[in-house]
Amino acid sequence: MKQSAARAVSARQPEHEVVIIGTGFAGIGAGIRLRQSGITSFVMLESADDLGGTWRDNHYPGIAVDIPSSTYSFSFEQNPSWSRVFAPGRELYAYANHCVDKYGLRPHLRFNTRVEKTVFDADNRLWEIHDQQGRVMTARFVVSATGYLTQPKNPDIAGIDSFSRPILHTARWDHSLSLAGKRVAVIGTGATAVQLVPTIAPDVRQLHVFQRTPIWIFPKPDAEIPWVLKKLYERLPVTQGSARMATNISTELIMVLGVVYTKQMKPLIKTVEAICRQHLKNQVSDPETRRKLTPDYGFGCKRPSFSSDYLKTFNRSNVELVTDGIEKITPTGIVTKDGQEREVDVLVCATGFKVFENGNTPTYKVYGVNGLELGQFWDEQRYQAYQGASVPDFPNYFTVMGPYATTGASWFAMIESQMAHIMRCITTARERKATWVEIRREVHDAYFAEIRQRQLSTVFYNNHCAGSNSYYFDRHGDAPFLRPSSGLELWVRSRYFPIGNYRFS
Ligand code: NAP
């Protein structure tokens, strides 16, 4: 048995050391770290014909980051040219391209390559990556960077297919369609609608916003960055570093500490909720509209947003907040449960994405040792991964944003920490000439038990989340989107976990 395995190893060598799946910021971060570690034998696979992930796909009116740009960017590649504190989406797309060029990733990109499945060849200790066109490539390691919020979800409302006028999902915006002077319906009031609604309201004739669950809104301290400050950032990067430190701390306080340590820090989250309530009061004049916009679940149960113009849009005479449930969609409009029909010219679905469901996390099949399929395993046995990065029976396979990978403060902090973790595994394997790297089952299981214990202190179990309709929760009632830890802990554990937690052979 051992002899035949040895023969197979010599018979089949992988074409690439690493295959990265996805070219959003996670894939780009992975590529940068590989090159910085001297690994050049890798390709970056992308189903679309361009890079940039979220910032390629989302270009609806008003799109911008809602985490300050100084925080929402790589720590090692600060951008002194952001035009605003919260940069518009196109600048993020340009920044992605800048990083790809500056760090020499363009030759590694393979567009129009939609991965259908990856299969572990245990004899040869490599992964086969099959794309939808039937092509197969091989790699020693796979780094999966496919993101969570990539597959748009249209609402499953009766009659939606009968709507005879233009219908758009925000993640597939069609800029050739003008909304000027039209009657427009927006379904959904998540972070996307929060940016879209105030941007289109002044142009349209009538805007009906269909809200099922209100969203917590924190004031957004946005402003243009004056050219003097940009020059200072460019000439003296330490000044931008200080700005980043300040925005990191404030985002950590609002988006992480109160959410993760709710049980211990109730006053913090109550203070945040009070600020949001006061903000709503300052912005919306009509008490009834205010009541409808007030969440009846705790801050953090679902993704809150930052905005200083969304709430006050409901003071406009051409904007209506509709909270009666939707009964059906007709060829020309929307009928609510009270029987009223609103005729509209354009229907906009700001209805979000598939998240924790088999077929989305991950978006392709992953067959590990003994043919175990990762999506099915997660769906049946709960989402779990050691530090969000690795799962037993899936050797040499790493996820940048696996279950419980990210803290709420910054996607980029998550990418950098996850890549620190993954690079420790890959570089140790190379040093030891190991071709099989696998998280030890007992370490993984103990970590998952710890996560589940820690979950009990989070907002998800301590702040009336039942009515929040949050995509953070999966069908098991777990909340595997967020890592129940501070950003500092994420940083430390990804860089200093005992390397013996992995089995190298
Ligand atoms: P989302 O948060 O999932 O919100 C979807 C909205 O559509 C919710 O209000 C939901 O109502 C509603 N909805 C879904 N199906 C519906 C139905 N059948 N009938 C009525 N309403 C329905 O999606 P999103 O706003 O696109 O945001 C997704 C995520 O992208 C955010 O949470 C955030 O992480 C990210 N994002 C980030 C930024 C940024 O600046 N960084 C900007 C935008 C988005 P319920 O709440 O009742 O389910």
pLDDT at 7: 46
Residue 409 has pLDDT above 90, yes or no: no
190 lines ligand 1 (CB under 6 A): yes
For the chain, report the end-to-end CA distance as a whole number of angstroms: 17
CA-nearest residue, atom 21 of ligand 1 = 188
Confidence of residue 2 (pLDDT cuts 50, 70, 90): very low
C-alpha distances (whole Å) from 470 to each of 255, 316, 480 are 15, 28, 12
Query: What digits encode the pLDDT tens for the residues 328-365?
Result: 999 999 999 999 999 999 999 999 999 998 999 999 99
Mean pLDDT of 260-282: 91
Residue 244 has pLDDT above 50, yes or no: yes
Residues 6 or more apart whose Cβ sits within 8 Å of residue 167? 160, 346, 347, 348, 349
Mutate to test the pocket of ligand 1, among 296, 351, 465 (most ligand atoms within 8 A of CB): 351
Residue 1 has pLDDT above 80, yes or no: no
pLDDT at 18: 98
pLDDT at 128: 98
Mean pLDDT of 18-37: 98
Whether 487 contacts 252, CB under 8 Å? yes
Centre of ligand 1 to C-alpha 260, Å, is 21
350 lines ligand 1 (CB under 6 A): yes
CA-nearest residue, atom 48 of ligand 1 = 469
Taking all residues of the chain, what is their mean pLDDT, rounded to a whole number? Answer: 94
Query: What digits encode the pLDDT tens for the residues 141-194?
Result: 999 999 989 999 999 999 999 999 999 999 999 999 999 999 999 999 999 999
Query: What digits encode the pLDDT tens for the residues 78-106?
Result: 999 999 999 999 999 999 999 999 999 99
Burial of 189 (0-12, 13-18, 19+ CB in 10 A): buried
Residue 5 has pLDDT above 80, yes or no: no
Mean pLDDT of 23-44: 98
Confidence of residue 9 (pLDDT cuts 50, 70, 90): very low
Centre of ligand 1 to C-alpha 155, Å, is 11
Residue 119 has pLDDT above 50, yes or no: yes
303 lines ligand 1 (CB under 6 A): yes
Report the half-sphere exposure of 248 (CA within 13 A, side-chain side): 17
Centre of ligand 1 to C-alpha 189, Å, is 6
Whole-angstrom distance, CA of residue 236 vs CA of residue 440: 45
> Which atom belonging to ligand 1 lies closest to the Cα atom of 355?
3
Lowest mean pLDDT among 82-91, 225-234, 257-266, 379-388: 257-266
59 lines ligand 1 (CB under 6 A): no
Confidence of residue 254 (pLDDT cuts 50, 70, 90): confident
Mean pLDDT of 472-491: 92
Whole-angstrom distance, CA of residue 80 vs CA of residue 64: 17
213 lines ligand 1 (CB under 6 A): yes
CA-nearest residue, atom 18 of ligand 1 = 155
Burial of 420 (0-12, 13-18, 19+ CB in 10 A): middle
448 lines ligand 1 (CB under 6 A): no
212 lines ligand 1 (CB under 6 A): yes
Task: Select from 87, 59, 57 the least CA-distant residue to 79.
Answer: 87
pLDDT at 8: 46
pLDDT at 208: 98
pLDDT at 466: 87
Whole-angstrom distance, CA of residue 57 vs CA of residue 50: 10
pLDDT at 11: 59
Centre of ligand 1 to C-alpha 93, Å, is 21
209 lines ligand 1 (CB under 6 A): no
376 lines ligand 1 (CB under 6 A): no
Residue 255 has pLDDT above 80, yes or no: no
Strand partners, 137: 129
Burial of 466 (0-12, 13-18, 19+ CB in 10 A): exposed
Residue 383 has pLDDT above 50, yes or no: yes
> Which atom belonging to ligand 1 lies closest to the Cα atom of 194?
25
pTM for the model stands at 0.94
CA-nearest residue, atom 2 of ligand 1 = 190
